[in-house]
Amino acid sequence: MQYVVEINNKTKTKFSVKKIEAVFQKTVFLALGEPFEGKKFELSLALVSEQEIKTLNKEYRKKNTATDVLSFAEYEGRQSLLLKSLKTKGSETFLGELIVCPTYVQKNALEDGETFDDAMTLIISHGILHLLGFAHGQKMFALQKAVAAELNKK
């Protein structure tokens, strides 16, 4: 499988592109398994300010507060995604767009006693799982923790 992340960093936050790609790859692999040989998964990621994510959160979720991540999936759910991906051989599958607010993630990381890198790994994995059709629940949280545990080994 091939994983492509298009990143639009509208902040001054420094990050590792390789780490983001690893989070993408590990999350998809753990969530979907490996029936996707020869497939190319694509994801768009934007890093934005608290004001910008607050505006987007208000517009799309009717919540007038900043948040850590917003996910805009290309597919209605996991079944739709799986059917499209399995039907078309050797094709690209665009999963959708994640909007992440690094300063919001940093504040939460400090409150939770986590490093920024650990928190970003969890949040990006969390957003990707939403793009893959997961809703909040035990399975989703276990998957994102498994991704973070493997990629954030010290």
The CATH number of whichever domain residue 136 belongs to comes to: 3.40.390.30
pLDDT at 82: 66
The answer as to whether 150 is a domain residue is no
- Read off the pTM: 0.90
Which structural domain, as residue segments, surrounds residue 95? 2-145
The answer as to whether 8 is a domain residue is yes
95-112 average pLDDT score? 96
> Using one digit for the tens of pLDDT, what is the confidence trace for 1-49?
788 999 999 999 988 899 999 999 999 888 887 666 677 889 999 999 9
Determine contact, residues 31/134, Cβ cutoff 8 Å: yes
Is the pLDDT at 91 greater than 80? The verdict is: no
114-137 average pLDDT score? 94
Neighbours of 107 (CB within 10 A): 15
Is the pLDDT at 78 greater than 80? The verdict is: no
Number of independent structural domains in the chain: 1
- Give the residue carrying structure tokens 């936050």: 13
58-71 average pLDDT score? 97
C-alpha separations of 75 from 18, 40, 80, 82, 137 in Å: 26, 16, 6, 10, 19
Determine contact, residues 43/6, Cβ cutoff 8 Å: yes
The answer as to whether 151 is a domain residue is no
Q: CA-CA distance, 119 to 116, in Å (whole number)?
A: 5
Is the pLDDT at 141 greater than 70? The verdict is: yes
